Structures are given as C-alpha cells and as structure tokens.
Amino acid sequence: MQLPKVGLSYAQERLGINALQNYAANNSQIWRETSTGDVGIDGNLEFVNPDGFATGKVIAVQVKSGPSYFKHESTEGWKFYPEEKHRAYWESFPLPVILVLHDPTTNHSYWADVRQALRTPARTEKSFIEVPQYNLLQSTEPTQLFATAGVQAEPFIVDLEEVLKVLLSTCYRDAGFPLSYFDLFTHGLTNICRSIYYGMDMVCNAVEFNLLVKRSEFGMGMGYQEHHFLFNYVKFLLAQGLAQIDFADCLIDWEDREMQPHFVAPLTARGRALVKLIHQKEAELVKAGKMLDAGLLHVAQEGFFGMQVESYYQRFPRIEQFQAALAAGK
C-alpha cells in the first residue's frame, strides 16, 4: 500500500514558522499566520507595548528555512537573492516586510527588513539582500524589529496636558540653537492644522527668530547634537501618536543619506486634539490678561509652504524641450 510522503521541505518550513511563533510568545507579541493565499508573506506580527496593549503597529514576515539559504555568505552574514516578482511585491507592500532565514540545525533565525532595503537607493542596485548575522531574531528586542513601523522605545504619555508640558519643556538651550519641541510643532502646522510639516527651512526660521528675540550675539550653529535633538522630535511625534509619519522613509534619509527627513504628515485625532488644547490654553491666557487678543491670529494656526521657484525655474525651458523632442520622435 502506498501512502503520501511528507517531504523534508515541509518540516523545514514548519520549523521556520515555529521559530516566529516562539519569538512572539516569548516576547508577548501577536503572531498571525497567513492561512490562505501565501504569495510572499507568511504572516503578520503586531506590536504589543510593555504595558500589554496591542498597538495596531504591524509588520509582515516572510520565512525561509533550511541550509540552502545559508550557502551564500556575505561580509556580515548571508546573501539572499529574491525573485524579481518578490522584489516588486515586497517593495510596494503597505507594511514593512521582514525576511527571516531560519537554520534548523542551530535553531537560530536571522532577519532583515527587505522592504526597507528595496526602497533604499544605495541598496537597490545590488541583486541580493544582505541578512546580517548580528540580526539574531531570538535576541532581538521587539522595538528594533518594528522600527520601520514607527514603534519607539519612548513611553506613551496618556494625558495630553502632560504631552503639552513636554513639548514646552523640551528645549535645546545652546546659545546658537534656541529651540523647543513646541516651536517645531506649532511652526509646522499646515493644511488647516490637519497636517504637520517638517523640514530644515522651518527649523532654521524658528531658530533665527528665537535668536532675534533673545538679541543673541551668536549666529545659528548646528552640529551632531542639534541634529539628534531634531530627529528625536520626529520620534516624539510618533511615540505620542500625534502624526501619521512614514518613519521607514524618514530612516532612509536619517541612516542611509545622513540628513534630516522632510515630510508633510496628517495629524492623528490625538494630534488634532492637542491643537484644540493649545487653542484652549491661549484663550485662557487672553481672558486672564496675560496675552493680548490678536483677533484671528493664533498660536496654533496653519502656515503655508512650497517649492522655491528659484531652485528650479531655470529648468522650465529644458523640460519643455525634452517633452517636445520625445513627442517628435514618436
């Protein structure tokens, strides 16, 4: 009598999936395996914060298990050569995609954020994705695994009044760079206060105004510590759930291009509630005579931004010529 035979590949695949299940259980995270229609994603992990609350921050996971995936060594780990269809699928996926290589002989798993690698210009030229040996899944903190999903190690502040206090009190007090988180938040409001803008032009304008108010003898100075102060503000917005920021894209600028990110992000309901709280506090100060009534001018009010025409107007004729030349060649 002949019976169906279970191949070795099935056992290896299940060992890889089990490694994800064990990681989720050991770290109090939520693992949901894809039961049907697996076309490049084996399941999802949802981040559970240290207080035990499910956050809605989700990453997709693809598991590859077996010794064949460890044949191509790289300087820091192993090379994984994705099929072209998977490159396109993972790059355009709406969630961060974590590739996990599982070694059944050692029961160790190693990971890489493949969507991030495929979206980073400096890395997309390579035919392979490097999975570093130091990214051992079993010893990875969940906040690190969920980094491109916008998860931050900074604790969540429940009370909006306390969030406002932190915005006001978190200041960079160097004489050449007087700036607070509150400056950055209120200067960045745009789109009828439904969105927050972040860019170095806004930062420089705020610093230069503060220097003028203080009648400082110093000019604006910006170095390593100032840049980290600014990027920590971006992380604060995420940690407190104030804006829907594409943090994965921010990290491409910050880590790979070594520059500040530049974005316009929608405020969350909580972010909009913070704007209302600022309005309320301003009205109380006016009523108490501690601020003048400025009519339609408010502390939390939209500002406008746009591309500087001077930076690209010289290209106008060339753009027109390019279009005309291609159209003529059809």
Tens digit of each residue's pLDDT (9 = 90 or more) over 124-151: 667 899 999 999 999 999 999 999 999 9
Q: How many degrees, rounded to 5, is the angle at CA 287 between CA 283 and CA 291? A: 75
Nearest 5°: phi and psi at 269? -55, -35
| 296 exposure class (CB count in 10 Å sphere: 0-12, 13-18, 19+) | exposed
Mean pLDDT for the chain overall: 93
Long-range contacts of 158-167 (CB under 8 A, 24+ apart): 160/270, 160/273, 160/274, 160/277, 161/277, 163/240, 163/242, 163/274, 164/274, 164/277, 164/278, 164/281, 166/236
328 pLDDT above the threshold of 70: yes
pLDDT at 106: 95
Model pTM score? 0.90
Q: Letter for the amino acid at 124?
A: T
Rounded Cα distance between 55 and 58, Å, is 8
- Residue boundaries of the structural domains of the chain: 8-149, 160-309
CATH no. for 8-149: 3.40.1350
Backbone φ and ψ of 61, nearest 5°:
-130, 135
Select the more confidently predicted residue: 126 or 37. 126
Cα dist from 130 to 66, 106, 123, 127, whole Å: 17, 20, 9, 10
Give the CA diameter of the chain: 95
Q: Please say if the pLDDT value at position 66 is more than 70.
A: yes
Determine the average pLDDT of the residues in 19-45.
91
pLDDT band at 307 (very low <50, low <70, confident <90, very high): confident
Instruction: Encode pLDDT of 210-259 as tens digits.
Output: 999 989 888 899 999 999 999 999 999 999 999 999 999 999 999 999 99
262, 232 in Cβ contact below 8 A? no
Q: Does residue 173 register a pLDDT over 90?
A: no
pLDDT score, position 1: 67
Q: Name the strands in the sheet holding 195-198, side by side, starting at the edge strand that comes first in the sequence.
A: 189-190, 195-198, 263-266
The stretch 171-186 carries a mean pLDDT of 94
